[in-house]
Chain A
């Protein structure tokens, strides 16, 4: 087996790569590929940035959404029944 995996294989295994669960030889091959391939390196950057981006975009809304206030009102109504 060649050391350098293809772009397809690299991109299919990036999460396993980030989690450190791949065998050493595979990890090395991907590491090498990422240093030589801008596209796959870009995909990795995107994967790494995604959690922060998602947290920023989906942070708590101000003011408190109506749906949340409705849930509280309905709950309090239920409790007093």
Chain B
């Protein structure tokens, strides 16, 4: 860092007095992180853009109350996730009310055991094992699969498996029992894994 570049503290100070350029310079380095966080929760770019805009307004408004106890990026990121959750609540999705589809597991025989043909099928889920172009395609498949999950399931997967929130914390936030969080998490994991698995094994995504 050079002496010429204004410090984050300096930018925060100037932003609170209405310096719009300072605010831009403050958030610009974290914009990719912030956008990515809301996109993961909302699953589509139009909603994510709206949520990020809401979040930036909240960040700007609450900046005088930012006390520097955590890093600005962590503080702002949390605001972004909350903004995404608010946007999510405002979007009523019919398919959340529907009876959930059966999970893409099996096929099993009458006793619930795997049929012979399935034996020998190995799940290979490692990003590093794939070429960059394949990773980009897998990214698109995963984004689509996330968008196709019921919102209540995607949100649990994102918060638990990608943001490392505790199950209890998610349950409190969504006002559902922890057991429900685990059920939704499991359904989401199985659905996502099945989509990537089909892709990885060379079938049509």
- CB closest chain-B residue, reference A5: B112
The answer to whether A54 and B142 have CB atoms under 8 Å apart is yes
Does B113 sit at the interface, judged by CB under 8 A? yes
The answer to whether A57 and B36 have CB atoms under 8 Å apart is no
Does B14 sit at the interface, judged by CB under 8 A? no
Interface string of B138-155 (1 = CB under 8 A from A): 110011000000000000
Give the segment of B5-13, B64-72, B92-100, B101-109 that binds chain A. Answer: B101-109
The answer to whether B57 and A75 have CB atoms under 8 Å apart is yes
Interface string of A30-61 (1 = CB under 8 A from B): 00000001111011011101111111111111
CB < 8 Å neighbour of B103 from A12, A37, A42, A46: A12
- CB closest chain-B residue, reference A6: B112
Interface residue SS majority, chain A: helix
Q: Which of B83-125 contact A (CB under 8 A)?
A: 103, 105-106, 108, 111-114, 118-123, 125
The answer to whether A65 and B32 have CB atoms under 8 Å apart is yes
**A58 touching B60 in the complex, CB below 8 Å, given contacts A42-B122, A70-B49:** no
Whole-angstrom CA separation of A76 from B60 in the bound complex: 10
A/B interface sample: 5 pairs, CB < 8 A = A12-B105, A40-B114, A46-B125, A56-B135, A80-B20
The 8 lowest CB-CB distance pairs between A and B, nearest first, are: A6-B112, A8-B112, A15-B186, A68-B35, A46-B123, A51-B161, A71-B52, A60-B32
Interface of B with A (CB < 8 Å)?
Answer: 20, 23-24, 27-28, 31-36, 39-40, 45, 48-50, 52-53, 56-57, 60, 103, 105-106, 108, 111-114, 118-123, 125-128, 135, 138-139, 142-143, 157, 161-162, 167, 179, 182, 185-186, 189-190, 192-193, 196-197
Interface of A with B (CB < 8 Å)?
Answer: 5-9, 11-12, 14-16, 19, 21, 37-40, 42-43, 45-47, 49-65, 67-72, 74-76, 78-80
